[in-house]
Amino acid sequence: MPIMPNRINLFTVPNIITCFGLLCGCVGIVLAFEGATQSAMVCLLLAALLDFLDGFAARLLKAYSPVGKQLDSLADMVSFGALPAVMLSHAVRRALGAANGAGDGAEMLLIFSPFLLTVFSALRLAKFNVDERQSDGFLGLPTPANALFFSSAAVICMDNPLEVWALLALVGAFSFLLVCEIPMFSFKVKLGLPAKYTLPLVFVLLSGIIMLLCLLYSIPLLAAFAPIILLYILMNVAVWIARKFAGLR
């Protein structure tokens, strides 16, 4: 008789958490198409929280699996690749005054250009799945961070004029950051390496200050994620440049 392969357990605790994150991304896309930008970002934040928790659960329960790794990337494509692009596309459409019409060719190109982020998010996730150098940190901007920046930017654009060309320049810059080789820290905390987490702790402290300032000046907290992600990028780039000048790898 032929030997049957071992049965794959799809419904592990980490996989179930990942599926709930995927569901949040799907709901967020529907809300984004309807113009409910803030509600869509709340869904994205829930997806980001669940994305952190599924990895935490996998480490805690030692429930690693190839299926879980692939499922996590597929969920990330929806929640952090497609959802922020839909939110940003809707913001561009509203800024161009094309909400009730197709617009000309140039306008349509501008409206669909945010989906460049979706393409580069896919490249980023595919690279991450096969790159063994990214077990403790990241090379390039993580897709959740990219998604938080642009979803927050979409929220900011609800009440402020949108400079479309500046936004598109950011789309190009962040597309590069997604696939570049700049090291960026993660929050995969391991015991015994306190010095390694000095930069993340400083980042958390400064992020708290940004959120406090938003509260003091009555700025929506959802808008705070854009400057927080910029802070994350600048800190990592500064450390990378400093290490280059110091001759360190």
Tokens of 109: 């190109």
Tokens of 163: 């400079």
Q: Is the pLDDT of residue 75 over 60?
A: yes
Name the nearest CA neighbour of 9 among 91, 52, 71: 71
Tokens of 199: 């930069």
Confidence at residue 197, expressed as pLDDT on a 0 to 100 scale: 60
Rounded to an integer, the average pLDDT of 191-220 is 74
Q: Is the pLDDT of residue 4 over 70?
A: no
Q: Is residue 54 a contact partner of residue 18, using CB atoms and an 8 Å limit?
A: yes
Rounded to an integer, the average pLDDT of 85-108 is 74
d(CA 62, CA 58): 5
Overall size of the chain counted in residues: 249
Q: Is residue 116 a contact partner of residue 171, using CB atoms and an 8 Å limit?
A: yes
Confidence at residue 249, expressed as pLDDT on a 0 to 100 scale: 60
Count H helices and E strands in the chain, helices first.
10, 2
Residue 3's SS3 state is coil
Percent of the chain at pLDDT above 90? 33
Q: Is residue 157 a contact partner of residue 114, using CB atoms and an 8 Å limit?
A: no
Confidence at residue 96, expressed as pLDDT on a 0 to 100 scale: 78
Confidence at residue 9, expressed as pLDDT on a 0 to 100 scale: 75
d(CA 170, CA 109): 16
154 to 5, 32, 39, 142, 163: CA distances (angstroms): 47, 10, 12, 19, 12
Q: Is residue 26 a contact partner of residue 62, using CB atoms and an 8 Å limit?
A: no
Q: Is residue 188 a contact partner of residue 134, using CB atoms and an 8 Å limit?
A: no
Q: Which of the four CATH numbers 1.20.120.1760, 3.30.70.100, 1.10.3720.10, 3.30.9.100 does domain 13-185 have?
A: 1.20.120.1760
**Residue-wise burial string across 16-27, b where 16 or more C-beta atoms lie within 10 A, e elsewhere:** ebbbebbbbbbb
- At 5, give phi and psi (nearest 5°): -65, 155
Q: Is the pLDDT of residue 192 over 80?
A: no
